[in-house]
Amino acid sequence: MAGEPVNVNEFQELARHALPKMYYDYYTGGAEDQHTLKENVESFRRIIIRPRILVDVSKIDMSTTILGHKTSAPIMIAPTAMHKLAHLEGEVATARGAAACDVIMGLSYMSTCTVEEVASSCNAVRFFQIYVYKRRDITALMVHRAEKKGFGAIILTADTPRLGRREADIKNKMIAPQLKNFEGLISTEYVSDKGSNIEALAAGTFDASLCWKDIEWLKSITKLPILIKGILTSEDAIKAIEAGVAGIIVSNHGARQLDYAPATISVLEEIQHTLEEIINSMTYQMYSKNSWRWLNAASCHV
Ligand SMILES: Cc1cc2nc3c(=O)[nH]c(=O)nc-3n(C[C@H](O)[C@H](O)[C@H](O)COP(=O)(O)O)c2cc1C
Ligand SMILES: CCCCCCC(=O)C(=O)O
């Protein structure tokens, strides 16, 4: 490639050369046949822009707020695991990037830098993503650490009762390092020669029994607003609102979980319309306490 990379595809090409194959495959792969992975890209390609002309664009302001936090654009850094597999500074460098761009960073539960390291590295607004471990005490401790360090919200990833079947990781026998956040609490180093070690790690630690009633438990251990990540249907968006969370993140986890699930962008509009209809139908009932809660939750992230 000649000169500096100018788009994400060119960065990906550089990464392909720079990274060990095991890590490159982990970062870029989807689940099973990778049908949804292709659909994620194709569905964006099918969206065609309808340009309007002779509009004053000399000053553009895309800033908005998410859960009351200012952001320079309606873009958030999604929580992604183990940045140190690609860069020595890991998530600390990502947080600095978020601060420089004035956008919110989602820090993964499976980060290679600790919650405290990321918090003290810069003043980016940070939300903390969690998986719920079978050892709930560990998850509660992590939530409290994030709360203490000024994270602005908890993102509960709800599409991963177990890790998606990622065939490249199985072939590579993908290994996770010991994650510093959990040192002294639980081992995250799973080494076996039977396929993906990170799949084994998730199967050994993630609570596959997690369900809607557990949102009450999460609400009972934190005052932070909760976002549910991994919603792909209107039915679940409504359930999330009924559960009283502050917002939802429509996502198919980068097609790394359930293959043949819809591309995220293809279901976003339907879910948004459903939530708008709820808001409209609730407006006339505003005086009921419960309705207020619904209204607040629905309007946050439409
Ligand atoms: C390498 C990699 C690691 C990821 N790790 C996590 C994670 O630890 N927690 C999580 O909730 N999502 C994780 N994701 C999913 C992303 O947060 C996000 O959902 C995905 O990149 C697709 O973006 P979208 O949800 O906006 O469609 C990961 C994605 C990638 C590519
Ligand atoms: C260290 C185990 C990896 C956990 C899974 C992280 C994730 O969500 C992913 O998509 O990968």
C-alpha–C-alpha distance, residues 259 and 171, integer Å: 18
From the CA of 54, how far away is ligand 1's center (Å)? 38
What is the b/e burial string over 153-187, where b = at least 16 CB atoms within 10 angstroms of the residue's CB? Answer: bbbbbbbbbebbbbbbbeebebbbeebbbbeeebe
* Residue 190 confidence (pLDDT): 79
Q: What single-letter amino acid sits at 61? A: D
Task: For 136-191, write each residue's pLDDT tens digit.
Answer: 999 999 999 999 999 999 999 999 999 999 999 999 999 988 899 999 999 888 77
Residue ranges with strand state E in the chain: 64-66, 69-71, 76-77, 104-107, 126-130, 153-157, 226-231, 247-250
* Least distant ligand from the CA of 232: 1
Q: 64 by DSSP, 3-state: which?
A: strand
Helix (H), strand (E) at residue 208: none
294 has pLDDT over 60 = no
**pTM reported for the whole predicted model:** 0.94
Q: What contacts 1, CB < 8 A, 6 or more positions away?
A: 10, 13, 14
In the numeric block, the tokens 């976003």 are attached to 268
Q: Is 81 in the pocket of ligand 2 (CB under 6 A)?
A: yes
- Spans of all domains in the chain: 35-44+61-300
Give the pLDDT band (50/70/90) at residue 283: low
* Site to substitute for ligand 1 among 27, 85, 206, 256, most atoms within 8 A of C-beta: 256
Active site residue 301: no
The Cα angle at residue 96 between residues 90 and 99, in degrees rounded to 5: 145
> How far does the centroid of ligand 2 lie from the alpha carbon of residue 174, in Å?
11
Q: In which band, very low, low, confident or very high, does the pLDDT at 292 lie, cut at 50, 70 and 90?
A: very low
Place of tokens 């709360």: 147
Residue whose CA is closest, atom 11 of ligand 1?
157
Between residues 293 and 214, which one has the greater pLDDT? Answer: 214
What number is the ipTM of this complex? 0.98
Tell me the CA–centroid distance for residue 254 and ligand 1, in Å: 6
Q: What is the Å distance from ligand 1's center to 81 Cα?
A: 8
Q: With contact defined as beta carbons under 8 Å apart, do 295 and 286 qualify?
A: yes
- Class level of CATH domain 35-44+61-300: alpha beta
Output the ligand 1 site: residues, CB below 6 A.
Answer: 27, 78-81, 108, 110, 129, 157, 229, 251, 253-254, 256, 264
Q: Which amino acid is at 215?
A: I
Give distance in angstroms: CA of 81 to centre of ligand 2: 6
CA of 259 to the centre of ligand 1 (A): 14
| Tokens 């970062």 -> residue | 27
For residue 175 and ligand 2, the question of a CB distance below 6 A is answered with: no
Residue 299 confidence (pLDDT) above 60? no
Atom of ligand 2 nearest to the CA of 198: 2
Residue ranges in the chain assigned as alpha helix (H): 8-18, 21-28, 35-45, 91-101, 115-121, 136-148, 167-172, 197-205, 214-221, 234-242, 264-283, 289-300
Q: Are strands 64-66 and 69-71 parallel, antiparallel or unpaired?
A: antiparallel
The pLDDT value recorded for residue 301 is: 44
Write out the two tokens for 66. 């998410």
Scan for tokens 């940070």, then name that residue.
126
Which residue, judged by its Cα, is nearest atom 29 of ligand 1?
80
The answer to whether residues 166 and 30 touch, using CB atoms and an 8 Å cutoff, is: yes
Report which protein residue has its CA nearest ligand 1's atom 6: 80
CA distances from 200 to 2, 13, 163, 233 (A): 41, 29, 9, 28
Q: What is the largest CA-CA distance in the chain?
A: 63
Pocket test for ligand 2, best of 25, 252, 256 (most atoms within 8 A of CB): 256
Q: What are the structure tokens assigned to 299, written together?
A: 């309007």
Ligand index nearest the alpha carbon of residue 158: 1
Instruction: Say which of 144, 253, 273, 301 is annotated catalytic.
Output: 253
Q: For residue 258, what is the DSSP state? A: S
